[in-house]
Structure 1
Amino acid sequence: MTRRSPALFLFALPALVVFLAFFCLPMARLIEVSLTGKDGAGVYWTVLTSGRYLHSLMVTVLLSALVTLATLVIAGISGTFLQRHPVPGKPVLVAMLTFPLAFPGVVIGFMVIMLGGRNGLLASIGDALTGERWTFAYGLAGLFVGYLYFSIPRVILTVMAAVDKLDTSLEEAARSLGASRWHVVRDVMLPALMPAMLSSGAICFATSMGAFGTAFTLATQLDVLPLTIYNEFTNYANFGMAAALSILLGAVTWMLLALARWYSGDAVAATA
């Protein structure tokens, strides 16, 4: 055991260096900047008591939660169907569904504008039908569509892999005992898929919480935390507040990821 320790340390050294360089040092610097601002440690009290910052946080959390729920429903149903049924052109369809992974947030924001912007497709259709231009791109609805667009690929691949590993004999046994299709889904499939759904949902939530490019592209009537941090940093040169908000954003996201990991571990133990 002692002879293997140096070799194991050498293998772990690159991961340790990356962890220190890209997580510990930046976090330490953020904490330092937040505490050395004009308000000192009081900046955290300002964050927790200011209606503006709390509103931005609540909007971001609520939007991310809604995106996550919608993504899990859409990707869960679509992924299960695609994995269980012989769909013509399935490889091409799966490739198209995962294509948004190749797009940066700015491109996705531009696509939302082309769909629901002032000169977008829906605006032209609305103008032709009712004489009123239909737009949704510049508010939370547009941001919801953009986040949903790049979140579905992250979940659907995980769901398809999890469905492929399901033990179909359990479903057949449930049907033989008189269970309906809905009961099979509720009592057999969903518990077995829960770890994959929780882990992919947590990643979806974390991605939506910190997404900046799409929000920046659509930023007209938006008050989400990444834009608030950007404004504090660039427009107001309030570096202490920007650092404190960044730590708050990271803390909320980390807690959600930790909870998802904990619950997914319990789900794995329950279904084992």
Structure 2
Amino acid sequence: MTYLDSASLQPFWQRLRHLSWPWRITWIYLIFFLLLPIVALVVRASTLDASEIWRIATDPVALSTYNVTFLTALAAASLNGLVGLMVAWVLVRYEFPGKRYLDAIIDLPFAMPTAVAGLTLATIYSSNGWIGSLLDPLGIKVSFTRLGVLVAMVYISLPFVVRTVQPVLQEMEAEIEEAAWSLGASDWQTFRRVILPPLLPALLTGVAMGFSRAVGEYGSVVIIAGNIPFQDLIAPVLIFQRLEQFDYAGATVIGTVLLLISLLSLLLINVLQSLGKRYG
């Protein structure tokens, strides 16, 4: 492996000195707080043999955590894509008492510590909680199950969809919808042909951000889930468990796999966004 030395970095720093201060600050910030941590993670994992990396990355427990993490995050993001659109629609198009407070509550998952969110969700969704006690007679258990992981991911990722769709809805003119109705379009036709196309890029952006947030969630999930392998154990919790066992190599490899799958998922979503802008 070829490592970067001071001589190879010198031309970069010389070019950086000729840039304006906003450009310099941007590059320095991105390098030290985004690029270097990612590079360090990949370099640390690459010190292992390929066979050892493959063994750790394809361990049955690790594969199970990938399944739980990404599929549950995708389900949470998809659900929030639908519900978040409706919430944003209500906040923009309707006037009702307490609207200002409801609008502020949407941002609560941003401000609330994730451990507090997990404790709250585990309490109300437990068998004797406010909501869990109603679901328990139906045979539905939320706390300490994979369903609890979904609830936590939905909770922490909902604001991303609402806050990306809401400004676009506010800029849309109601006269366009009225024109569609006057031409004989039904409510569904108006939504599908007039409202949805300009909303689609923002909606996909919110879903992508919510998905990324759900994939990396730890604090709330570790409390509401049972963290049992092959049931509801997620990859971030597995990484922490490996660190507790001083298995730094295993934690690094799983973290790298998580990073690569997340990057591929975001790349796919960006492609869908581009298609939505092109054909919207």
Q: Structure 2: how far apart are the matches of 1:31 and 1:6?
A: 28
Aligned partners of 2:156 and 2:214 also within 8 Å: no
Change (3 A) 1:259 1:124: closer
**Residues 119-156 of structure 1: per-residue CA shift (max 9 Å, x gap):** 423455679xx6x9974211111121122112112211
Q: Structure 1: how far apart are the matches of 2:86 and 2:279?
A: 23
Structure 1 residue 226: Cα displacement: 0.6
Aligned to 1:198: 204
* 2:261 matches 1:252: yes
Change (3 A) 1:133 1:65: closer
Q: 1:242 aligns with which of 241, 251, 271?
A: 251
* 2:158 matches 1:175: no
Aligned partners of 1:123 and 1:135 also within 8 Å: yes
Aligned partners of 1:115 and 1:122 also within 8 Å: yes
Q: 2:120 aligns with which of 111, 125, 131?
A: 111
Partner-residue secondary structure (3-state), 1:94: helix
* 2:109 matches 1:100: yes
Q: Structure 2: how far apart are the matches of 1:42 and 1:238?
A: 17
Aligned partners of 2:164 and 2:206 also within 8 Å: yes
Change (3 A) 1:223 1:262: same
Partner-residue secondary structure (3-state), 1:193: helix
- Over aligned residue pairs, what C-alpha RMSD do you find? 2.4
Change (3 A) 1:133 1:194: closer
Aligned partners of 2:141 and 2:147 also within 8 Å: no
Given the two structures, how large is their TM-score scaled by the length of structure 2? 0.84
Equivalent residues in 2 for 1:62-73, closer than 5 Å: 62-73=71-82
Q: Percent identity?
A: 25
Given the two structures, how large is their TM-score scaled by the length of structure 1? 0.86
Aligned partners of 1:97 and 1:153 also within 8 Å: yes
Q: Which runs of 5+ in 1 are unaligned?
A: none
Change (3 A) 1:14 1:43: farther
The worse-fitting range, judged by mean Cα deviation, of 210-219 and 253-262 is 253-262
Structure 1 residue 85: Cα displacement: 1.5
Aligned to 1:217: 223
Aligned to 2:20: 9
Structure 1 residue 7: Cα displacement: 7.0
* 2:168 matches 1:162: yes
Q: Which runs of 5+ in 2 are unaligned?
A: 1-15
**Residues 164-205 of structure 1: per-residue CA shift (max 9 Å, x gap):** 122434322322221110111112211111000011100000
Aligned partners of 1:174 and 1:184 also within 8 Å: yes
Partner-residue secondary structure (3-state), 1:182: helix
Letter in 1 for 2:41: L
Aligned partners of 1:35 and 1:43 also within 8 Å: no
Change (3 A) 1:223 1:90: same
Aligned to 2:61: 52
* 2:236 matches 1:230: no
Partner-residue secondary structure (3-state), 1:87: coil
Q: 2:154 aligns with which of 148, 152, 161?
A: 148
Aligned partners of 2:70 and 2:215 also within 8 Å: yes
Q: 2:43 aligns with which of 27, 32, 39?
A: 32
Partner-residue secondary structure (3-state), 1:86: coil
Letter in 1 for 2:144: Y
Aligned partners of 2:144 and 2:225 also within 8 Å: yes
Q: Structure 1: how far apart are the matches of 2:275 and 2:135?
A: 50
Q: 2:193 aligns with which of 160, 181, 187?
A: 187
Structure 1 residue 75: Cα displacement: 0.9
Structure 1 residue 57: Cα displacement: 0.6
**Residues 9-31 of structure 1: per-residue CA shift (max 9 Å, x gap):** 32111121121112222222212
Structure 1 residue 268: Cα displacement: 2.6
Aligned to 2:9: none
Change (3 A) 1:180 1:120: same
